[in-house]
């Protein structure tokens, strides 16, 4: 009960931080975990999903929420009337390894969309023994989501050449039609399972023949054949080690991406969910207040056995549903929601927004706050805990205009989620900060 109350306090704090004209980024990017997480759990030992329940992909059709996921036997799905409580399809799995060819050993991580009267599934395919995603992306079609699914005889997207950034593993995250015709696919790939995972993009005129995005300015390996569209973060950022999956949708003239960033943390590494947006689907801007959803936001999360990975997103009416898995030790799916308001254009053009970042974030010992003042004036930077209590004021002085960097030592501050509020004149900026010990 205490954790649920804390989530409500988070929300109240963020609303109290809203700046002039509603320009606070967190107003549109504050997810609330499903208090009844996990939304879906693995089955009993020996069943089709008794060992794995991972890689969620949500969609809505004709009054029903569908949540595709990967079990140990292949691609499965569950249904719901509200997006919170799911019932597994009794005919699972709906797609399995074929036993021969490019998907002989595995069919997983389904991405499903409707094209005319027909359903189309893109999926990760494995031909050779190994761990994690396989070596290509397959395509299958069906008249119904329950199948039968008729798969293509050859993959539609394959690995890059040796030495390329996507030479080891590749798997789909999203596919959707373009208003101008054709389709766009977002996928993530790496040189190997323990390498740096990055997001790529491909386009197709028909959904069958795909061309990876290739920046003509990069002509040397590992970006000679194609280029990632979402790189890893800078040193000290939550996603400095890459991206473990993403969900994308287009709304209000922008592509919206929610992705799982990987970075250093206690025990080796940690994952949290960030946000990025793009006007053209190629050039992406990461949100200044990243990460937007962290492990501590989910009351069910257990840091000793779980991670956040493979987020899938669904915009239904005015709500963003984000589903994610907790890793292969837990083998269950979590969910969170956010009231969607497209504030990107307003935030980008606002005269009242201050941008503040801090690195590293999460913070273990110390962090540096960075911001730019367009005018000289009185500046205050306050840090609040999750209950709205003022913890520290690193800055409270008159400052000349220009770029500022302020080092702050977390010292005896306990681990948890904190909120920054930067104020100067009529302008205000906010950011979520995580302290880990």
Phi, psi of 98 (to 5 degrees): -80, -25
Return the pLDDT at 342.
59
C-alpha span between 114 and 432 (Å, rounded): 37
Domain locations in the chain?
29-342, 353-435
Q: Give the residue ranges of the chain where pLDDT is below 70.
A: 1-29, 341-353
Close Cβ partners of 298 (under 8 Å, ≥ 6 residues apart): 33, 37, 308, 334, 336
pLDDT in tens, 235-277: 889 999 999 999 999 987 789 999 999 998 877 889 999 999 9
- What is 29-342's CATH number, 3.30.360.10, 3.40.50.1820, 2.115.10.20, 3.40.190.10? 2.115.10.20
Contacts of 417 (CB under 8 A, 6+ apart): 10, 294, 296, 297, 385, 386, 432, 433, 434, 435
Helix (H) or strand (E) holding 432: strand 427-435
Nearest to 331 by CA among 58, 66, 77, 41: 41
Q: DSSP code of 16?
A: H
Level-2 CATH architecture, domain 353-435: Sandwich (2.60)
State the pTM of this model.
0.80
pLDDT of residue 362: 83
SS3 389: coil
* pLDDT one-digit tens code per residue, 192-248: 988 899 999 999 999 999 999 999 899 999 999 999 999 899 888 999 999 999 999
Q: Quick one: 166 exposed, middle or buried, by C-beta within 10 A (0-12, 13-18, 19+)?
A: buried
Contacts of 254 (CB under 8 A, 6+ apart): 277, 278, 279, 342, 344, 345
Residue 79: its H or E element: strand 74-80
Peptide bond preceding 369 in cis form (omega within 30 of 0): no
Give me the pLDDT at residue 344, please.
61
Q: In whole angstroms, give the CA distance from residue 387 to residue 378.
A: 26
Element holding 10 (H helix, E strand): helix 2-16
DSSP 177-221: E-TTSSEEEEEEEESSTTS-BEEEEEEESSSSS-EE---TT--ST
Output the pLDDT for position 15: 38
pLDDT score of 10: 34
Q: What are residue 107's DSSP bridge partners?
A: 125
């Amino acid at each position: 009960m205490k954790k649920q109350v804390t989530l409500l306090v988070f929300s109240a704090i963020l609303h109290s931080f809203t700046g002039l004209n509603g320009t606070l980024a967190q107003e549109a990017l504050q997810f609330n975990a499903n208090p009844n997480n996990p939304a879906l759990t693995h089955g009993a030992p020996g069943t089709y999903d008794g060992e794995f329940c991972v890689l969620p992909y949500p969609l809505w059709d004709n009054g029903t929420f569908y949540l595709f996921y990967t079990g140990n036997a292949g691609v499965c799905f569950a249904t719901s009337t509200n997006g919170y409580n799911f019932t597994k399809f009794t005919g699972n799995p709906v797609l399995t390894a074929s036993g021969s060819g490019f998907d002989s050993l595995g069919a997983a991580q389904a991405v499903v969309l409707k094209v005319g009267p027909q359903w189309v599934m893109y999926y990760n395919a494995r031909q050779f023994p190994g761990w994690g995603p396989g070596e290509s992306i397959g395509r299958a079609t069906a008249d119904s989501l329950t199948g039968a699914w008729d798969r293509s005889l050859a993959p539609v997207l394959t690995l890059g050449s040796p030495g390329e950034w996507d030479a080891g593993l590749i798997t789909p995250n999203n596919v959707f039609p373009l208003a101008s015709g054709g389709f766009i696919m977002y996928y993530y790939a790496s040189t190997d399972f323990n390498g740096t995972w990055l997001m790529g993009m491909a386009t197709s005129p028909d959904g069958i023949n795909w061309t990876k995005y290739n920046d003509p300015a990069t002509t040397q390996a590992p970006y000679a054949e194609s280029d990632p569209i979402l790189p890893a973060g800078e040193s000290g950022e939550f996603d400095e080690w890459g991206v473990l999956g993403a969900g994308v949708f287009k709304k209000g003239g922008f592509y919206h991406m929610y992705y799982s960033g990987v970075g250093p943390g206690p025990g080796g590494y940690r994952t949290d969910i960030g946000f990025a947006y793009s006007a053209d689907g190629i050039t992406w801007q990461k949100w200044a207040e990243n990460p937007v959803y962290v492990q501590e936001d989910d009351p069910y999360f257990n840091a000793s056995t779980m991670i956040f990975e493979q987020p899938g997103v669904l915009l239904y009416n005015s709500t963003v549903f984000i589903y994610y898995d907790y890793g292969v030790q837990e083998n269950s799916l979590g969910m969170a929601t956010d009231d969607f308001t497209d504030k990107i254009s307003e935030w980008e053009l606002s005269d009242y927004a201050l941008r503040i970042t801090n690195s590293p974030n999460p913070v273990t010992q110390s962090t540096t706050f960075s911001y730019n003042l367009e005018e000289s004036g009185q500046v205050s930077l306050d840090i609040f805990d999750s209950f709205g209590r003022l913890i520290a004021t690193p800055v409270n002085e008159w400052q000349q205009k220009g770029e500022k960097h302020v080092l702050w030592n977390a010292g005896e501050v306990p681990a948890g989620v904190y909120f920054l509020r930067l104020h100067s004149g009529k302008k205000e900026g906010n950011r979520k900060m995580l302290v880990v010990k």
